[in-house]
Structure 1
Amino acid sequence: MPRLYLLDGMALVYRAHFALIRNPIRNSKGINTSALYGFTNTLLTILENEKPTHLGVAFDTSAPTPRHEKFPEYKAQREDMPEELAAAIPNVKRLCRAFHLPVLELDGYEADDIIGTIAKRAEREDGFETYMVTPDKDFAQLISASTFMWRPGKKGSEHEVIGPDKLEEIWGVDEPSKIVDLLGMMGDAVDNIPGIPGIGLKTAQKLITQFGSLEGLLSRTGELKGKQKEKVEANVDQARLSKDLATIITDVPIEVGWNDLSLDNRNDDAVRELFNEFEFRSLSKRLYGDAAPSGGTGDDSSVPLLQETFRTLSDVAHDYRLVRDDKDRDELFEKLGSGKRFCFDIETTSLDRFEARLLGIAFSWKDHEGWYLPYDPSLDERLREVFSGSALKVGHNLKYDLSVLHHLGLPVEGPFFDTMLAHALVSPELKHSMDYLSESLLGYRPVKLADIVPEPENGGEDDLFSHAAKKKPGKDLDIESIPLEALAEYAAEDADVTWQLYGKMSKALADHDLEKVFETMEAPLLPVLVRMEMEGIRLDPEALDSIRNKLQARIDELAKSISDQAGRPFNLNSPKQLGEILFDELNLVEKPKKTRTGQYKTDEQTLSALAGLHPIIDAILEYREATKLKSTYIDALPGHVQQETSRVHTHFHQLVAATGRLASTDPNLQNIPVRSANGREIRRAFVPRDGFTLLSCDYSQIELRIMAALAGDESMIDAFRHQKDIHTATAAKVWGVSEAEVTKDQRRGAKMVNFGIIYGISAFGLSQRLGIPRGEAAEIIDNYFTQYPAIREFMDRTIEEARESGHVSTLGGRRRSFPDLRSSNQTIRGNAERAAINTPIQGTAADMIKLAMVRIDALLRKKDYRSRMLLQVHDELIFDLDPDEESTLVPEIIGLMESALPLPGSVPILVEHGSGPDWLAAH
């Protein structure tokens, strides 16, 4: 039987490009090859697995179609095709020609219409089976007994073949022709087809069930009620137009015959040339059994999103053992004690570090082998011996495992290798879950916990593993109901897969020259963060209540002041009402900015630009800050107090930020504002444990010092060496006055420039922040670079070197790639340039404090100090300080911080410190 496959080329290349948009595949020349790779991968899957006899690839052209003539707004909301995707399409067509596949395109018609026309022709032929390869739902209208949709899978899932039997299940209609009725009613936001306002998918399905079609609905509107009746009757023409726009044309005058579509032998020389040019190593190996050279920033073999099939446990020989008796235990502990490295993974009953009960531990130290040890407290001493040994401990998202074991009194000593951290370091823009890595790096899909958990009696959802990319039981999964043998195999597989990932990721770290960063900084920091998180910090509820009452009084005062200034009461939390007050009634600006829907813009950025124009603006900004502080922190913090410890335990994340800075969540203790009086007050609620004091140690102007060191600017370095106020010194140079003559406004302006330069501040941005004319701001920036020419040279040099190499590095050796530096789009390129300048500065600051934390933690443990490190907040470390240890410990902490990562040019590093009865007093 002839099997015809019609590929929607435009949809497939769009899908491939955007599926990998966060971390594109690039060859060594920096060319984005994601679209070409994804299209080729899908094509090979079809050729290898589906055995087509006929095949064609359809593309849109840039010419307008009849739909644009009927409705000029058709697809008008779509953004221009990304330049890298546009550049890929000619190469996709080259690939088609290399495979001797016809490229089907015709001005005035879309790929949908060409596919629809050929599919209908095939229906009239005897014996043809047609498969339309596309993710586009509109093609469902063409489905018949011999015409099917072949929809590629998402995120590694299998493709789906959709025939008439699945129409009702997927779209809620029983005939393909009713798909266009559905689209006529509900519209299509992707193509800007309007439909009938207020009618969505479910309503459209009900109306089709009731009236049979769009025409049936429009002819019987008298049976409708209320607003629905009004909307349908008011949009009759629009509904008919929408259906027309959604209908695929099936009589396109394209001259192509069955011989043209008949599958032919490919031109291997041309295919090899393409694979070599774009460095498709895995595709070359897949097709020819060899590998094309690879030197790019992305590896085409590590992309699971477009792969259709994976190996599973049933396909791979394995040896997983359940530890059942003392003999098995003795054998396991003997092997663990004698080995140089092993992987472990715990199974628990909860995501909560304090509530989780340990069910068992899986171990692996050889590919396709694993052991599962059911936990019993009687094993604690033997486990402590294993976990305190010198062997390398491998795991995935180890911080969770280490935290649970720490809470159980089973601390684990390093060295560590966390495959999640390693992957985040190598490919920060990708996902880092174990399943994702297994599929992408091993071509293997692990068993899902939901597949082995018995169906819950209450019919709850299987909400899987949402915490930190770690596979752990969701709230509705009863892991204790899993038969022991099934749990043992599942857990052993996890350990085995993680062990295999260790082999891949250790090589990846070496290939990307990131071993030093991982081994000296990120891996040793892991247990430090565990100890800090589990220690937590004390919250004073009485102080918090006092702050709440004071802030609420200020909120009420501000609300009354705003209403009085507006001349009438209104809903302060309504952007619409606020916009009307500011711009219709108070007429604050002549031409206020509006949103796409025509509503006045009242966001923080817009209002901040108007600060000082009218007292109501400053009052609104303070009101918003106060209400946000109250809801985000003051009202929420008590809910984060752990019942067992009566302390707040945040979660620290090592590699969420591309620069390497630590992040804090649940609760976020790093974003408490410090520039406003209201924000600073919240710190008063954080207090030391009884008998202790809080110690704050803060790097002083560290990013400016790093910038001066990296730039080698002797003038700025000299200011730091002589312990001058850098902002006063800068102001004196920029304004051409003595330091004694510098005014407060001049120092403020210099401070804004000093810090703004790091983030690529523009004359417009500086004028907005200082409330001065743009010309004056531009003059300040020009004067700044005149006085500090080495800073400008550093910025230009950094961009140029990054453009050449594709990446920038910190002093600690951390790397970050910037392929967008080669973009022809000025906005995209400008954003990449600013980030490239900032990363070595901010990233080096992150490296510095991480190294300091590792060394301070070692000091506290080695000398058995009672003081504890509690928090890291950007450039600041917070401690519970034993007053008896203050005189000896504080100088040691400061010394370790100042010497953690010496700066070039002997730029001095200064750490300021303070202590007190609460965080505010200490800071």
Structure 2
Amino acid sequence: MTEKTLLLVDGSSYLYRAYHAMPDLRGPGGEPTGAIRGMVAMMKLLRDQIGADYAACVFDAKGKTFRDEWYPEYKANRSSMPEDLSAQIEPIHAVVAMLGWPIVMVPGIEADDAIGTLARAATAAGWKTVISTGDKDLAQLVNEHVTLINTMSNETLDVAGVLAKFGVPPHQIIDYLALIGDTVDNVPGVNKVGPKTAVKWLQEHGSLDAIIANAHTIKGAVGENLRQALDWLPMGRKLVTVVTDHDMAPHVENWPALDALALRPVDHRNLLEFYQRYGFRGWRDEIEKQLGVTAPPKPVVANPGLFDDHEADAPAAPAQELARQYDTIFTFEQLDAWIAKLQAAELSALDTETDSLDAMRARIVGISFAVEPGKAAYVPLRHDYAGAPDQLPFDEVIARLRPWLENPAAKKVGQHIKYDHHVFANIGVTVQGWAHDTLLESYVLEAHRPHGLSSLAQRHLERKGLDYEDLCGKGAKQIPFSQVDIERASLYSGEDSEMTLQVHQVLYPRLAANPGMKFVYESIEMPTSAALGRVERHGVLIDPARLAEQSRVLAERMMALENEAYEIAGQPFNLGSPKQIGEILFGKLGLPVAKKTASGAPSTDESVLEKLALDYPLPAKLLEHRGLSKLKGTYTDKLPQMINPDTGRVHTHYAQAVAITGRLASNDPNLQNIPIRTAEGRRVREAFVAPPGHVIVSADYSQIELRLMAHISQDPGLLRAFNDGMDVHRATAAEVFNLASEEVTSEQRRYAKTINFGLIYGMGAFGLSQSLGIEQKAAKDYIDRYFARFAGVRRYMDETKASAAEKGYVETLFGRRISLPEINGGSGPLRAGAERQAINAPMQGTAADLIKLAMLAVQKALDDEGKATRMVMQVHDELVFEVPEAEVEWVRSEVPRLMAGVAQLSVPLIAEVGVGPNWDEAH
């Protein structure tokens, strides 16, 4: 007979963990949904992964329990449930039941006690029990029939696992908990007794009773603390003991039989309505496919208010099924007819299908267009699978399309137009007339959300098109687009074009209705896309021989570090193995364990090694080795491999629609993360060189975010420092330390610099104390003195946090809106992070806007003056140019003037220029 399994879920533990783990998600009506989403995901996963026929999700019931009667201070220090979580409890109970889970809530006891009672009954019936929880108290229930699992940390605890994790077997967990206490439940233990001491005592004496009996023999302060706790310990043990014999008859049918806890069928019909109600589209689509039905269109939220720019998923136009007509063009008559439509249209959508994601090397396989929603055409050009029909000759198709493609008056819309622009440029076609990009429209409207066409169509049109993987497969079995059946390719590409057009028709009116967003989209993002395309296309020249030499030097230094590490450790080991490093550091050398991984092993991550390196030599060697290894693997070895064989240059990709503040992201390769704090990292920049007869020029905004803080806060002290051309960090130190400027020491200036930049990022006393290596009280005193002298900064911070909480977003000086979904969330850490972001985002976002405006101003001047200078990189607040020697003086004088002139602030905008044969010397 097969052993039955009972799966018990600690629902009360998991709903709190789901709430704190998830961002502040919102449903169509603005209601919080993060905890609901987290619970649904966990319950679905558990049901799929654990082969159980019987189960229950156990929640705490409302009201007091017997422990409150025993000890009125029980859980007294727990804050009340956050309102956003409280609002999700009822829906969580409802959806868990819809997912087929029996629910158990027993008044007068805690969920732990109900779980303990159910587990004991299952054991008595000869069943196996699996308890899904993150609560250490339930380890006391583990035996040969009962196992704990934690889906959030992938941890499984059987008898051996409990012993390995806690140092004591399950039958000693109650005594262990009584000794160490439980701060969460406000259960005192023995003062100054932690896990190590508790384990030691239990190993020596065997039980809490024996420890109490021998308390007089335990020496030192800890022994005295034990003796002071002797009267309390029996109550402490009673409080942490999980009840396993409660009468469940009113709450479980046919108790003590467990058959009533059979898992039930999933209630798909009600789930469909629930997922629709709370905006869980992916899960809703799964059920629609299973049932072969479509949910009714979701009503438009009439007055979403705060959530208009957050999670309001209602389509801006009624979702309706379009009559779709996609033409596949095989004849010139068809092509000419469509060209006539394109020429007559006010706006046409354009899309390409290619054989590569690398825009500089991608070849066109087919082209699609749309001039109205529901109608599109696809021109297959290079489908080469066996049996593919004859297609029109590539060169002649391009020749016929070229006049429309290169006509600036023929307005076009696309999704990520920079990619398509490169693809056409690869065949010598410069597409003009790009009027709109749905990727950028979405980015400006809702930067915090996904901007892929599939996401946009689902979010704004209630449509789901074909996925690329539906056509081409995935992984090792993925085929190139040229191998896709033309009929399916036509549906896919035509759909992309006409959905792009329709998404634009929904998004652009929303942009146009907000002057700030309209400016950011039309005057910053769209022209920046074109400017970045030119930067990417030109690329940057690197010297592979210099990088090869740097790789050789790095390899030698890494080898030396390995030998030094072996000598300190007394044996060879793998410097890339966290397991072996842990064995050496904490096993052999006995270094203190700072934190542990989810599996309970001592952590060897960077933060741990940095702390240990302050006192021990081996962690310092390991950190240096890691840094050099990363530098070598990411840059000195890899960059030469990324040189385009056709151009001899490296061509990075600048992603506009990634950072919510508007900053650009560089990838393949990432030129913005080259480390510059070490000599080895800075040396990589030496390999970014100018061709013969040219130099590299770097133009960098000076202290841009501090200047923006002065402008936005209008603090008189900061304004005076910048307007008088003072050293702002020295001026800050003079104010904070009440000294004359000339009396400020270099150490005091360093402190002031850390405060200046730290406050921009919302740093508190703890963060400042860590950065400066001082006591937290001293750090707080510095911050208090700073705010006393720079009251305008404090006012800005307080007003900005209040405004962000009211609106749910902050804005840059130019109108870019930066949404902060967690600013009103229930989770303390998430809300605190959002408040820090609220302080910094207006400055970081405005700085991002300024550097983009600077790019545009400089590029326009270069074009107007007919200069041969080329912009080759944008890195943070810096523009990098490749300049013919004859134009150096013009660039040296004009570029900083142009960069300073893109905005009028209350303090001067200053750009500093450097010139050199390579990027490092120019910087």
Q: Which residue of 1 aligns with 2:714?
A: 712
Q: Which of 826, 830, 833 in structure 1 is aligned with 2:832?
A: 830
Map 1:346-357 onto structure 2 (within 5 A): 346-357=352-363
- Are the counterparts in 2 of residues 344 and 495 from structure 1 also a CA contact under 8 Å? yes
| Aligned equivalents of 2:57, 2:85: Cα separation in 1 | 12
3-state SS, counterpart of residue 881 of structure 1:
strand
Counterpart of 2:344, as a letter, is S
Q: Which of 764, 767, 771 in structure 2 is aligned with 1:765?
A: 767
Q: Which of 517, 520, 534 in structure 1 is aligned with 2:520?
A: 517
Q: 1:713 offset after TM fit, Å? A: 1.5
| Aligned equivalents of 1:397, 1:651: Cα separation in 2 | 12
- Stretches of structure 1 that go unaligned for 5 or more consecutive residues are 1-7, 41-57, 70-78, 118-136, 140-182, 199-240, 242-247, 276-284, 454-460, 464-473
Q: Is 1:322 aligned to 2:328, yes or no?
A: yes
Q: Is 1:398 aligned to 2:388, yes or no?
A: no
Q: Which of 419, 440, 462 in structure 2 is aligned with 1:421?
A: 440
Sort the Cα spacing of 1:588 and 1:766 in 2 relative to 1 into closer, same or farther, 3 A: farther
Counterpart of 1:424, as a letter, is Y
Q: 1:637 offset after TM fit, Å? A: 1.4
3-state SS, counterpart of residue 816 of structure 1:
strand
Cα displacement string for residues 826-869 of structure 1 (whole angstroms, at most 9, x for unaligned residues):
32222111111010111111111011112322333343322111
Sort the Cα spacing of 1:727 and 1:670 in 2 relative to 1 into closer, same or farther, 3 A: same
- Are the counterparts in 2 of residues 532 and 870 from structure 1 also a CA contact under 8 Å? yes
Q: Which residue of 2 aligns with 1:462?
A: 474
Counterpart of 2:333, as a letter, is K
Sort the Cα spacing of 1:833 and 1:377 in 2 relative to 1 into closer, same or farther, 3 A: same
Q: 1:536 offset after TM fit, Å? A: 1.2
- Are the counterparts in 2 of residues 579 and 600 from structure 1 also a CA contact under 8 Å? yes
Map 1:538-553 onto structure 2 (within 5 A): 538-553=541-556
Q: 1:300 offset after TM fit, Å? A: 9.9
| Aligned equivalents of 2:299, 2:677: Cα separation in 1 | 61
| Aligned equivalents of 1:825, 1:814: Cα separation in 2 | 26
| Aligned equivalents of 1:638, 1:726: Cα separation in 2 | 41
| Aligned equivalents of 2:591, 2:725: Cα separation in 1 | 45
Q: Is 1:909 aligned to 2:921, yes or no?
A: no
Q: Is 1:295 aligned to 2:305, yes or no?
A: yes
- Are the counterparts in 2 of residues 808 and 817 from structure 1 also a CA contact under 8 Å? yes
Sort the Cα spacing of 1:587 and 1:765 in 2 relative to 1 into closer, same or farther, 3 A: farther
Counterpart of 1:295, as a letter, is G
TM value normalised by structure 2: 0.69
Map 1:111-150 onto structure 2 (within 5 A): none
- Are the counterparts in 1 of residues 700 and 911 from structure 2 also a CA contact under 8 Å? yes
| Aligned equivalents of 1:713, 1:300: Cα separation in 2 | 32
Counterpart of 1:532, as a letter, is V
- Stretches of structure 2 that go unaligned for 5 or more consecutive residues are 1-8, 41-55, 68-77, 119-128, 132-144, 162-243, 245-250, 279-294, 382-393
Map 1:474-873 onto structure 2 (within 5 A): 476-510=478-512, 514-566=517-569, 569-579=572-582, 592-610=594-612, 612-614=614-616, 616-873=618-875
Cα displacement string for residues 448-500 of structure 1 (whole angstroms, at most 9, x for unaligned residues):
455556xxxxxxx534xxxxxxxxxx983232233444433332121111111
Cα displacement string for residues 194-218 of structure 1 (whole angstroms, at most 9, x for unaligned residues):
46989xxxxxxxxxxxxxxxxxxxx
> What is the aligned residue count?
734
Counterpart of 2:331, as a letter, is D
Q: Which residue of 2 aligns with 1:201?
A: none
> Percent sequence identity over matched residues?
35
TM value normalised by structure 1: 0.69
Sort the Cα spacing of 1:16 and 1:419 in 2 relative to 1 into closer, same or farther, 3 A: farther
Sort the Cα spacing of 1:103 and 1:462 in 2 relative to 1 into closer, same or farther, 3 A: closer
Q: Which residue of 2 aligns with 1:332?
A: 338
Cα displacement string for residues 544-596 of structure 1 (whole angstroms, at most 9, x for unaligned residues):
1222222233333334444445565544334455456556666666x744445
Sort the Cα spacing of 1:901 and 1:17 in 2 relative to 1 into closer, same or farther, 3 A: farther
Q: 1:698 offset after TM fit, Å? A: 0.5
- Are the counterparts in 2 of residues 93 and 103 from structure 1 also a CA contact under 8 Å? no
3-state SS, counterpart of residue 698 of structure 2:
strand
3-state SS, counterpart of residue 429 of structure 1:
coil
Counterpart of 2:304, as a letter, is S
Sort the Cα spacing of 1:858 and 1:323 in 2 relative to 1 into closer, same or farther, 3 A: farther
Counterpart of 2:87, as a letter, is A
- Are the counterparts in 1 of residues 374 and 498 from structure 2 also a CA contact under 8 Å? yes
Sort the Cα spacing of 1:616 and 1:15 in 2 relative to 1 into closer, same or farther, 3 A: closer
Q: Which residue of 1 aligns with 2:405?
A: 387
| Aligned equivalents of 1:9, 1:734: Cα separation in 2 | 52
| Aligned equivalents of 2:37, 2:359: Cα separation in 1 | 42
Counterpart of 2:347, as a letter, is R
- Are the counterparts in 2 of residues 362 and 372 from structure 1 also a CA contact under 8 Å? yes
| Aligned equivalents of 1:760, 1:735: Cα separation in 2 | 21
| Aligned equivalents of 1:767, 1:628: Cα separation in 2 | 29
- Are the counterparts in 2 of residues 25 and 298 from structure 1 also a CA contact under 8 Å? no
Give the RMSD, CA atoms, in angstroms. 5.0
Q: Which residue of 2 aligns with 1:24?
A: 25
Q: 1:386 offset after TM fit, Å? A: 2.0
Q: 1:364 offset after TM fit, Å? A: 0.8
3-state SS, counterpart of residue 658 of structure 2:
coil
- Are the counterparts in 1 of residues 565 and 622 from structure 2 also a CA contact under 8 Å? yes
Q: Which residue of 2 aligns with 1:210?
A: none
Q: Which residue of 1 aligns with 2:453?
A: 434
3-state SS, counterpart of residue 59 of structure 2:
coil
- Are the counterparts in 1 of residues 24 and 33 from structure 2 also a CA contact under 8 Å? no
3-state SS, counterpart of residue 647 of structure 1:
coil
| Aligned equivalents of 1:379, 1:329: Cα separation in 2 | 8
Q: Which residue of 1 aligns with 2:247?
A: none
Cα displacement string for residues 26-72 of structure 1 (whole angstroms, at most 9, x for unaligned residues):
678x64256789999xxxxxxxxxxxxxxxxx9743159xxxx9xxx
Name the stretch that deviates more: 319-328 or 525-534. Answer: 319-328
| Aligned equivalents of 1:401, 1:707: Cα separation in 2 | 39
| Aligned equivalents of 1:38, 1:576: Cα separation in 2 | 32
3-state SS, counterpart of residue 878 of structure 1:
strand
Q: Which residue of 1 aligns with 2:395?
A: 377
- Are the counterparts in 1 of residues 672 and 875 from structure 2 also a CA contact under 8 Å? yes
Q: Which residue of 2 aligns with 1:88?
A: 87
- Are the counterparts in 1 of residues 354 and 364 from structure 2 also a CA contact under 8 Å? yes
Q: 1:188 offset after TM fit, Å? A: 6.9
Sort the Cα spacing of 1:663 and 1:773 in 2 relative to 1 into closer, same or farther, 3 A: same
- Are the counterparts in 1 of residues 349 and 369 from structure 2 also a CA contact under 8 Å? yes
3-state SS, counterpart of residue 346 of structure 1:
strand
| Aligned equivalents of 2:589, 2:847: Cα separation in 1 | 46
| Aligned equivalents of 1:374, 1:863: Cα separation in 2 | 42
| Aligned equivalents of 1:63, 1:824: Cα separation in 2 | 21
| Aligned equivalents of 1:778, 1:829: Cα separation in 2 | 21
- Are the counterparts in 1 of residues 541 and 648 from structure 2 also a CA contact under 8 Å? yes
3-state SS, counterpart of residue 541 of structure 2:
strand
- Are the counterparts in 1 of residues 27 and 312 from structure 2 also a CA contact under 8 Å? no
Q: Which residue of 2 aligns with 1:4?
A: none
- Are the counterparts in 2 of residues 579 and 601 from structure 1 also a CA contact under 8 Å? yes
Q: 1:813 offset after TM fit, Å? A: 1.0
